[in-house]
Amino acid sequence: MKLYLVIPCYNEEAVLPETAKRLREKYASLMAEGKITSDSRIVFVNDGSKDQTWPLIEELHRADPVFRGICLSRNKGHQNALMAGLMTVKDECDAAISLDADLQDDINAIDEMVDKYAEGYEVVYGVRSSRKKDTFFKRTTAQGFYKIMKAMGVETVYNHADYRLMSARALNALAEFDEVNLFLRGIVPMVGFKSTQVTYERGERFAGESKYPLKKMIAFATEGITSMSVKPIRMIATLGMLVFLSSIGVLIYSIIRKFTGDTVPGWAFLAVSIWALGGIQLLAIGVIGEYIGKIYLETKHRPKYIVSEYLKDD
């Protein structure tokens, strides 16, 4: 099997030489075992780095043809860099594995992913068994992220980041999703095909620093929700309905107060109006939002279906 690794790199000069060395060793052993063919490649995607990342990739490629490099014209973010890499290699390989340059995701899981591919799985998700080595902060925010995504109706694989194997067929199906707001963790499950998971322990970044500070994580989560789900819009409509129903409660309450005698003239009318109008307005915005949500999903031009098998004569 011809396996390609796709590794997005943004300012990763501190980890790149060591990463390349470890991956080269992994490849050598996989090739020796006959699990992957000798024309398998390791592809680095330079996501507009401002440091020595690209010269390092060029050097690696010169020294050893197993390494390849793709250079983006500017920084486009992790998800886009990943997509660029996968779409560039999809017709050259049998399967591609995406992973981070810092090797926080245990590369020994590659063996198992390759085995699963050989068993006929087309998408193999790498799932973290524990996050002991992450900082408390990273762990809680990351887990909160998966929970919020779920509450917002986005189907993701729990504790799975972008460490996964996809067959060429699955990659070609992924190519059908031509959306600009890219949230791969949500799209890959939509692609379907026979899939499974392998678990591994997540390690520490051995050099350099995280390219995902809190600000980027929040932006990523927002992107994930708003690119995959129109549930937030529905929540506005629900809220409007609740406020409107409350206005009936307020009406009853003000009638009671009226007859028990301690009200200022005009008070009941104002109180009920505020609740009823507020509720109706929110509800109306929600209804309009529902249509905007539809337009939004239509503009994504997602494939309506992906054929996996066609049994026929001749």
**Chain positions contacting ligand UDP, by CB under 6 A:** 8-10, 12, 47, 75, 77-78, 81, 100-102, 104, 210-212
Strand 67-71 relative to strand 41-46, pairing: parallel
Q: Which is nearer to Mg ion, 104 or 156 (CB)?
A: 104
Write the DSSP assignment of 256-308 as a string of letters: HHHHHT---TTHHHHHHHHHHHHHHHHHHHHHHHHHHHHHHHHHTT--S----
211 makes contact, choosing from Mg ion, ligand UDP, none, with CB < 5 to 8 Å by partner type, with ligand UDP
**133-148 b/e (C-beta count within 10 Å ≥ 16 → b):** ebeeebeebbeebbee
134 makes contact, choosing from ligand UDP, Mg ion, none, with CB < 5 to 8 Å by partner type, with none
Residues at the site binding Mg ion, with contacts judged by CB under 5 A = 100, 102, 104
Half-sphere exposure in the Cβ direction for 13 (13 Å, CA):
12
Nearest distance from C-beta of residue 127 to Mg ion, angstroms = 16
Segments in 90-208 forming alpha helices (H): 109-118, 136-151, 168-174, 184-191
C-beta neighbour count of 197 within 10 angstroms: 18
Nearest distance from C-beta of residue 101 to Mg ion, angstroms = 8
| Integer Cα distance of 250 and 252 in angstroms | 5
Segments in 133-196 forming alpha helices (H): 136-151, 168-174, 184-191
- For 60, the token pair is 């690696």
Q: Which is nearer to ligand UDP, 40 or 98 (CB)?
A: 98
47 makes contact, choosing from ligand UDP, Mg ion, none, with CB < 5 to 8 Å by partner type, with ligand UDP
77 makes contact, choosing from Mg ion, ligand UDP, none, with CB < 5 to 8 Å by partner type, with ligand UDP
Nearest distance from C-beta of residue 218 to ligand UDP, angstroms = 13
Nearest distance from C-beta of residue 213 to ligand UDP, angstroms = 9
Nearest distance from C-beta of residue 25 to Mg ion, angstroms = 20
Q: Which is nearer to ligand UDP, 7 or 272 (CB)?
A: 7
Q: Which is nearer to ligand UDP, 189 or 203 (CB)?
A: 203
